[in-house]
Chains A and B, each alone.
Chain A
Amino acid sequence: MAKSRRSATAAGNTRRSATGRRRAKARAAAPDPDHELDELDMTALMAPFETLGGLAGGIVESLAPQALRDLNQEIRERIAESPLALNSYGYDPWGFHADVARRALLIMTLFYRYYFRVQTYGIENLPEGRLLLISNHAGQIAIDATMIGVATVLEADPPRPVRGMGEYWLPTIPFFNVFMARAGGVVGTPKNCLDILEHGEAVIAFPEGVRGMNKSFSQRYQLQEFGYGFMRLALQTDTPIVPIAVVGSEEQAPSLGNFEPLARLLGMPAFPLVATPIPLPVRYHIYFGEPMEFRGNHNDEDEIIGKKVDQVKARINDLLQSGLRRRTSIFF
């Protein structure tokens, strides 16, 4: 033990000796059985959340019918095709990991295809390079975010994994925080958003936040107040905004109201009184609008920024209303 440590550091300390460096390199390059996650190896998935996803993924991969294996392969290829910068351990700076993301996506895709039977419109509107996706938000849990996420990986060309911006309290939830990071979510601080956009990636944001997500059933398809942060970031980084309208999510989990005292007690932003135990199998229609470009000073006062935000909000509302008019049934 001690000997191997000494030789390791000897290699480390002769920083200008070529042989030492080479030895260190060789050691580093030696195959590590745990390093590469292959299909059925679950040793590296330690957190129960990941294990659950991994277990399901593993079962799917070994026992599943050909169709599912094909789907898994398709998702794998789509992730590989997407422009992501991963380090030698397979992680990006924010903790994204392709294997965990693939397993999460696989499960989400099953919901996407067979439960919510998502239809997308105008996904060819996604431009290349950095991108802000702005959508309405509803349905008590953020299924709309995951469905948009699946759509942009499976249906967009080239695939565009989107980064979700989470509430500040999400990283405090055990297990979930790890899963969220591995699947591509980050804490929604302006700095994170800025850096991800500068990386040339696509960021999804819901300017309504919990105001939209946890609103009651009677307020469905009524856009709530938009936050201004996304517009300042778009102006600062010169990022095109793609407005998105999700039709269907607003009926998936009818809420009678918000039980505020309990929410406060649990430290949650809201505690909706939901009428159904699980989200209803509504059909999702996701409309991607044409990219909107804005120019101006990102430090302008709220009044000026607000006018630009209103343009986005109006565009989303147009998409929503036309989507609602075209829809013949909530479920089919």
Chain B
Amino acid sequence: MRGWVPAGLRTGVRTTRYPDAEETAPGVSPGLPRGGRAADGAGGALADRCPTGAIVTEDHGIAVDYRRCVHCFRCARGVPAPPDWQPGYEWAASVRGDAAQPLGPAFARSLRILVVDAGDCGACLREVKQLSGPYYNMHRLGFFVTPTPRSADILVVVGPVTAHMRSPLVQAYEAMPAPKRVVAVGACALSGGVFGPSFASAGGVAGVIPVDVMVPGNPPPPLAILHGLLVVTGRRPSAALRSPAAAPPPAPRAEGAP
């Protein structure tokens, strides 16, 4: 294996500096629409165009439910008044409230993740996989993928939970020792996405096992998933799952021109 080590060294460090600094490279995130005021009728038109009902009209504006947004860009392209578009990626939100605290400092440097594919299209899984690659390298933050629930602290679930994957998912969750946290990744895992609840899928993880952190996106970019892992360990603040019409959404670092 001569040659490989120099080749690796020649490549240099490509790893993002997130969460110490913002990642500004182009193309790392598709962004999300933002709720806000809308001209009369424009809000309704946007809500009508949204195929998953993520956009709803709300006192003279639109609100966006990020659990449902599937990045279809129906609201952004070919309409006279598109909503504001926020480019960031810190979208993950803690949803258990007080029921589950973030995993404490004991888990700060070594956290085992079991990834369960409950019927995703392949994109979320591919983005989770990118986290182990050189660009995102979640190992530097103490996150490691494990193949067995017996040694897992976090269960990352992608996909809308198909009928066939329901029992394996429940079994995996039950096989994990406490304390354990569940991170649902992607619109399908949050709301069923375009597959919705149907005869063949449960329409989201929350209906099957308790979810602690939700990461919106279709698929969420790797940085959003990383944010989800940081939220579950209490190392980054949680974002909101809903962008209301009235107030601007709390965006700790991801502001900037839409």
Partners in one complex: no
Task: Give the interface of A toward B (CB within 8 A).
Answer: none
